[in-house]
Structure 1
Amino acid sequence: MHKTLIALTFGLLSSVVAAEQMYRWIDDQGVPQFGQQPPEGKAYQRMDISSPPPPGGTLRAPAPLPKSADSEAQAEEDPSTTDEALAAKRAEQCAKIRRNLQTMERNPRLSKTTDDGETVRIGEEERQEMMEQARSDLEEFCN
C-alpha cells in the first residue's frame, strides 16, 4: 500500500515538472504541433507556460453596453431622469471614495493586486499620495 502511494506521489510530481516546458512547431502538412520535446531538424518555438493567477485575484469590470438610439431619444425627452441618475451615481461614487479614504487612513499596511494577479504591499509614500488624491477628489466632486 505504501509503495503504491509513494509511486503515485512521484508520478504526480514528475508530471508537473515535465509539463513546465512546451514547444510548438509546424509539421510537413502545415499543421501546428505541440509537445514537451523540441523536434529534431525543424524550427520550433518555446511556449511560455505561466501559472494562473491566484484565486480571488482581480476581477475586471465588463465592457459598458453600447447606447442605443432609443435610450438617447428617451434621455432627450426626459432630462430630469438623467439628472437624477447622474446625481445618484455621483453620490454612490462619493460614498465609495469616503470609504476608501477611511480604509487608507486606518490601515497603514495596505496591499493591492497587480494585473498579473500578484499581491504587493503599498508603501507609505504611495499610501499618502492615494489619500491626498482621494481628499482632492472629495473636495472637487463631492462638495
Structure 2
Amino acid sequence: MRRMILTSSLLLALSASAMASQVYKWVDAQGGTHFGAQPPQGQQATTINTAAPPPKTAEPTAAPIFESIADPEQTAIDEKVKREIATQEAERKKYCQTVRTNLAQLENNPRVRVEVDGEVRRLNEEERQQRINEARQAIGENCK
C-alpha cells in the first residue's frame, strides 16, 4: 500500500510537466488576437510558454501608470496563469507531505510490509534503505 502511495505520488509530481501543452497566439485578418492549442493553417503563430512561472523579485516593483487601463484579455490570461501556478504549488506541497510521511515511516519502522501483485510481503533491510534513499532524494529535489 505504501509503495503504491509513493509510486503514485512520484508519478503525480512528474505528470505536471507532461500535462503542459503549447499555447499558440495569432492575429486574424480583422486584427483580433486569438489563442489556441493548435496553430492556424496558413498564418504565422507564436508559442506562449504557460508552464514557467514569472521570476521572483527581491522587492516589489512600481506598478506601471497604464496598469489601470489593462487589456481584458491579458488580465484573463494573467488570472489563468496565477490559478495554474497556485494549483501546481498545492500539488507540490501535498506530494512533499506524502513523501515526508513515507520517509518517517520507513525510518521509524524496520518491519515495513508492501503489497506486490496482491500478495503482502515484508521489505528486507536493503529494500528499505533503498526506499529511504529514494524518498530523501525526492524531498531534496522537489521540496523546499
Please state which band the TM-score falls in when normalised by the shorter chain: 0.3 to 0.5
Q: Which has the higher contact order (CA 8 A, sep 6+)?
A: 2
